[in-house]
Amino acid sequence: MGGAIVTTIAQAYLHTNISGTDAELAEWGRRAEALAYEIASSVFPMEVEVEIVFQVGSLISRALVKKIGAGLLAAYGGIAIYPDFKNGLLEAITDARTFSGAFNERFMSEANIKSKDIVARQRRIETPGRINRALDRLENLEQNTAANRGSRYHQELQDAVTQLQWGLSDLEFSDRQQAVQLIVEYHEPRLPEPLLPELMRPVVWKREDEEFGLVESRAHRPNVKFLAKLRTDEPLRSQLLLEDKKTKRDKLKH
């Protein structure tokens, strides 16, 4: 992929209090692969990469969906004007929720996971959601009059810009350039501080800080037991998939 950024656009997260044998984990993995590939292919309007991760101890499954290379914003109706950009984000968020909800429901059914076994079940909307939330914060701030722009206002503005930086940093460079241009053209006249220098500077941040914070500490993360990476621009049967570091598995046979 030539070093291009792979933008995370959705994550189906499931944390249960059950555990499985190696054979059960392998079978669950094969089912998860087929489900994730099928659902992602039907939901998203572009080719994506899907990563399936199982952690052992209590079963924690993650299905991450990532856009391959540039064109995420164009895939959702183009970004010629700011309202189209915002509407495109909302469409991407809808697709993220659709994928995550469908994957969790169907995987629970196929793996016979009951509701009483669930510690946490989430539909994470990742980069589109992060950008959209930050833009909503900016729009709310713009409604403040000059008289109401005290220290609290400036702190909220800085927090919104930081959140926006995080989201934009997960976009491929050409996507980020186009998004920043639209955001600055629309918001900068209404805000007291220049946005461009801040937004074009990528932020280095660890996704794990956000992903694992709700249900487990990073210091006690279980080892990954099952890992698969799929691309919807390739037939499922042709893909070499990864499992835990101790074992290798042949191509899928369905």
pLDDT (mean) for 213-232? 63
Question: Cβ distance 64 to 227 under 8 Å?
Answer: no
Contacts 24+ apart (CB under 8 A), 34-39: 34/236, 34/252, 34/254, 35/103, 35/106, 35/107, 35/110, 36/12, 36/63, 36/65, 36/103, 36/230, 37/230, 37/232, 37/236, 39/99, 39/102, 39/103, 39/106
From the list 105, 136, 95, 106, the residue with the least C-alpha distance to 9 is 95
Dihedral, CA of residue 144, residue 146, residue 152 and residue 156, to nearest 10: 50
Task: State which H helix or E strand residue 13 sits in.
Answer: strand 6-16
Least confident of 39-48, 89-98, 153-162: 153-162
From the list 67, 66, 62, the residue with the least C-alpha distance to 12 is 62
Give the pLDDT confidence of 19-46 residue by residue, as tens digits.
Answer: 878 888 888 888 999 999 999 999 999 9
Q: What local confidence, expressed as pLDDT, does residue 190 receive?
A: 79
**C-alpha span between 119 and 111 (Å, rounded):** 16
Q: What local confidence, expressed as pLDDT, does residue 206 receive?
A: 47
For residue 213, give its domain range.
Answer: 6-238
Total of domains in the chain: 1
- Tell me whether residue 1 is in a domain: no
pLDDT band at 197 (very low <50, low <70, confident <90, very high): low
Any idea which residue has 């990532």 for tokens?
66
Least confident of 4-13, 73-82, 186-195, 211-220: 211-220
- Tell me whether residue 249 is in a domain: no
pLDDT (mean) for 206-213? 43
- Tell me whether residue 26 is in a domain: yes
Task: State which H helix or E strand residue 108 sits in.
Answer: helix 82-110
Which segment, 55-59, 148-152, 169-173, 203-207, is predicted with the most confidence on average?
A: 169-173
- Tell me whether residue 30 is in a domain: yes
- Tell me whether residue 17 is in a domain: yes
- Tell me whether residue 252 is in a domain: no
- Tell me whether residue 250 is in a domain: no
Question: Cβ distance 167 to 7 under 8 Å?
Answer: no
**C-alpha span between 25 and 55 (Å, rounded):** 10
Asked if pLDDT for residue 241 goes beyond 80, the answer is no
- Tell me whether residue 244 is in a domain: no
Least confident of 21-25, 50-54, 101-105, 168-172: 21-25
From the list 94, 98, 96, the residue with the least C-alpha distance to 106 is 98
Mind spelling out the 3-state secondary structure of 50-107? Answer: EEEEEECCCCEEEEEEEEECCCHHHHCCCCCCHHHHHHHHHHHHHHHHHHHHHHHHHH
Asked if pLDDT for residue 100 goes beyond 90, the answer is yes
Asked if pLDDT for residue 167 goes beyond 80, the answer is yes
Q: What local confidence, expressed as pLDDT, does residue 93 receive?
A: 96
In the DSSP assignment, the letter for residue 243 is B
Is 201 or 22 the better-scoring residue by pLDDT?
Answer: 22
Give the pLDDT confidence of 76-86 residue by residue, as tens digits.
Answer: 876 678 888 99
Q: What local confidence, expressed as pLDDT, does residue 209 receive?
A: 39
Q: What local confidence, expressed as pLDDT, does residue 34 receive?
A: 93
Count other Cβ atoms within 10 Å, centred on residue 146. Answer: 7
pLDDT band at 59 (very low <50, low <70, confident <90, very high): confident
Percent of the chain's residues with pLDDT above 90: 36
pLDDT (mean) for 207-232? 58
Is 164 or 218 the better-scoring residue by pLDDT?
Answer: 164
Q: How far out from the chain centre does Cα 122 lie?
A: 12
Q: What local confidence, expressed as pLDDT, does residue 137 receive?
A: 92
